[in-house]
Structure 1
């Protein structure tokens, strides 16, 4: 090796070590100012409430305020874009749900690239989607729903919070699994879908457990099945879809934190550790339980794998069923 080559190599090595040292120092100092957590839904909803509960725990651990910034609209694409366009410094994050993995297939052109535009940090938890009907309706079980749908293809009306929503996609997945056709009636949110089902305007509704449980307890709604792998804590007497004759079937609303692409690994690790501790707190577990959900602790790789698998699963469904956004 010539003297010039040795000098260049030493300089490059020194630059690399300097960059690594600077990154490590930045991570050690982080955070030095408030952290913004973007939510793609209006205040008061399940994602917003969980973001605020986890945010309080993160603030206590990290020593800086955590501010929830609600940016609803465009199926959460507005919120996602505000994060993917932010500096990768750990001060802008998002608590996302399934729409994060769904939207690149649902919208044309794709609003973002999951492989290039985001850095997964940590899962938080999941809440099951449920099938329900009005309490005095004719359908008493999921088996009866399937039998009725096979006898009258595309006649039974099923309300959801909207085209491309997680309950809509869960309904399409189940219909494909069971070999039935249901007539989809999309609404602008779960509240009106539930109201019209209770009122008899639609026969079935697919929503998350958080929205269905209070109406079921009030005697207005009969929940036929939950789509989580295990029974829901807020609906313990309701069987899962798997228990009802479709082993392995699962469709839940999940929540997880991500940041913009290029988020330094030391900051990702520090954030992940803080989120894991928050998940173990009584406050976060109670908030998830109230929504009918469970915490999902685990490594960052677990969240990354889930995003990829959900994007593939729902992407195929969207293409095959020709699903369009509202």
Structure 2
């Protein structure tokens, strides 16, 4: 498939203040009272050792960065060690993966991974890494649904309105996403197939500028991670048309799922987990997995995820590894069938 121009702020990741700020302010307030999570490069010498590090392949202030800081604070408490979060956006998350793989396989450098870890081995050619050879799964964190939303002033009042408009003028209705090959982009492609419609994709570099332009009416709708719009929806600034979760969420009262809207079985979510470089000792991986499970029992970690309609799904390293491989196969088929490519 061909790809339209990048979104208006595709080259400018510095627009997060409009957007993720309500979620970010609330989560960072939790962090400030819960744990003195160190900023990268600002670790007190009193710790006396190199801190643990979580690398994030996305911009500061977004959902993945915020989640990394929240989980990192709880991990720091559980392991009784300092921990820093380092944002390395670029190449759809591949720069962060490369940095993680260049680190020592001693368990002190982790990556907070999302769906792109499984998709990028097909989206980028040649593959930038090998999931089985290069990655040591530590554990899954959970899932958050993808949703379709519009600004409060949009004439689209429901998913049915969106579909009627899309069928009346094929390929003219626009949807924004965090980027080509992002989970919301791929989820919308699947929805287009299911609903037999074609929308015009406007890719951005991250969810924040995509949502900002949806708020401003520059695009007709946005497909995005629920974490990034939950506060905007609650405040009335955005209207959520449909959830891609398997079940309705009490966090979005009255909002139907895609499955409820005539497309049984349809579901799409963003999943998160921690990985380490291959070769990390098994005992270290198990220690980190146990600490992650303890962190995910912390109400300060659970509250924001559950508050966005998400699910917390801790498990073993092996379970997360199986998910990565099954997702790799699923995304490979979708990317091949749609002829999706990076620019």
TM-score for the superposition, normalised by structure 1: 0.84
Q: Is the counterpart of residue 70 in structure 1 residue 96 in structure 2?
A: no
Give the deviation of 1:288 after TM superposition.
Answer: 1.7
Q: Can you list the C-alpha shifts for 1:26-53, whole angstroms capped at 9, x where unaligned? A: xxxxxx8532111112222221222122
Write out aligned runs for 1:178-189 (5 A): 178-189=195-206
Q: Is the counterpart of residue 295 in structure 1 residue 312 in structure 2?
A: yes
- Any runs of at least 4 consecutive aligned residues in structure 1 with deviations exceeding 4 A, and if so which? none
The match for 2:151 is 134
The match for 1:244 is 261
Task: Pick which of 68-77 and 285-294 moved more.
Answer: 285-294
d(CA) in 2 for partners of 1:223, 1:97: 23
Match of 2:325 among 308, 312, 321: 308
d(CA) in 1 for partners of 2:210, 2:51: 38
Q: Is the counterpart of residue 258 in structure 1 residue 265 in structure 2?
A: no
Paired residue secondary structure (1:207):
strand
Q: Is the counterpart of residue 152 in structure 1 residue 198 in structure 2?
A: no
The match for 2:338 is 321
d(CA) in 2 for partners of 1:214, 1:60: 28
Task: Give unmatched runs, 5+ long, in structure 2.
Answer: 1-48
d(CA) in 2 for partners of 1:305, 1:193: 32
Give the deviation of 1:150 after TM superposition.
Answer: 2.8
TM-score for the superposition, normalised by structure 2: 0.80
Cα root mean square deviation, aligned? 1.9
d(CA) in 1 for partners of 2:250, 2:270: 15
Q: Is the counterpart of residue 99 in structure 1 residue 116 in structure 2?
A: yes
Q: Can you list the C-alpha shifts for 1:206-234, whole angstroms capped at 9, x where unaligned? A: 11112222332332322111112233453
Q: Is the counterpart of residue 124 in structure 1 residue 124 in structure 2?
A: no
The answer to whether the 8 Å contact 2:62/2:208 transfers is no
Give the deviation of 1:167 after TM superposition.
Answer: 1.1
Q: Is the counterpart of residue 279 in structure 1 residue 311 in structure 2?
A: no
Task: Pick which of 61-70 and 167-176 moved more.
Answer: 61-70
The answer to whether the 8 Å contact 2:246/2:266 transfers is yes
Gap change, CA 1:133 and 1:287, over 3 Å in 2:
closer
The match for 1:46 is 63
Match of 2:213 among 169, 172, 196: 196
Q: Can you list the C-alpha shifts for 1:60-99, whole angstroms capped at 9, x where unaligned? A: 2222212212211121111101112222211111111111
Task: Give unmatched runs, 5+ long, in structure 1.
Answer: 1-31
d(CA) in 1 for partners of 2:329, 2:124: 15
Paired residue secondary structure (1:243):
helix
Count of equivalent residues: 295
The match for 2:192 is 175
Gap change, CA 1:296 and 1:236, over 3 Å in 2:
farther
